[in-house]
Amino acid sequence: MEELKKRILKDGHALSETVLKVDSFLNHQVDPELMYEMGTYFKNYFKNHGVTKIFTIESSGIAPTVMTAMQMNLPMVTLKKQGSKILKGDVYQTTVHSFTKSMDYELTLSKKYITEKDNILIIDDFLANGEAALGAARLVEEAGAKVAGIGIVIEKSFQPGRNILDDKGYDVYSLARVGKLGENLIEFLE
């Protein structure tokens, strides 16, 4: 997505060789028009995948996902991050480890919002190690539903997530693929 790449070059900052800061339009302040354009790209890619519902993970995935769900005319569900396990039987939960933040959380989905007939598109803002996307896919599959695909706003292609998701056979579509980060350096893959 050319507009996104231009925006990353204009307003993004490589904080290190692994972390890209995009607080001014995605993670803190949000640019609604850019989010809408993202929704159009995701819709165009996934429109023939038989998607029944779109899942995201709180919180920065929500804005681009709402815009996608609106344009695909589909319901959307936000997976919650809980600090500890809920022992009631009305939720699906899985432990996700964040390497970036060095912490674990329980990704949580109410059983009310998925059936085994669902074909779920998962959308998230960043793909780093793939742990969040894999956790979301585990919840979908535990419910007996299918993963229609995974939409990512910014993929850091030099980290392992993309290859892991590809190897598991998921259809991954990223709007921007960052190949390298460094001091004053942000490089994209085609």
Annotated ligand binding at 144? The verdict is: no
User: Cα separation of 12 and 140, whole Å?
Assistant: 33
Annotated ligand binding at 121? The verdict is: no
Partner residues linked to 110 by β-bridges: 91
Instruction: Show the site string, 125-144: x = touches ligand G4P by CB under 6 A, - = not.
Output: xxxxxxxx------------
118 binding ligand G4P? (CB under 6 A): no
Annotated ligand binding at 44? The verdict is: no
Sequence-distant (6+) residues with CB within 8 A of 34 are 3, 4, 7, 25
Annotated ligand binding at 130? The verdict is: yes
> Which of 36, 99, 113, 188 lies at the binding interface for ligand G4P (CB under 6 A)?
99
User: Cα separation of 160 and 128, whole Å?
Assistant: 7
Instruction: Report cis status (omega within 30 of 0) of the bond before 157.
Output: no
- Complex with ligand G4P: residue 27 or 52, whichever CB lies closer: 27
> Which of 94, 98, 108, 119 lies at the binding interface for ligand G4P (CB under 6 A)?
98
User: Cα separation of 170 and 158, whole Å?
Assistant: 18
Partner residues linked to 185 by β-bridges: 182
Instruction: Show the site string, 37-66: x = touches ligand G4P by CB under 6 A, - = not.
Output: --------------------x-xxx-----
Binding site for ligand G4P (CB under 6 A): 19-22, 27, 57, 59-61, 98-101, 125-132, 156, 161
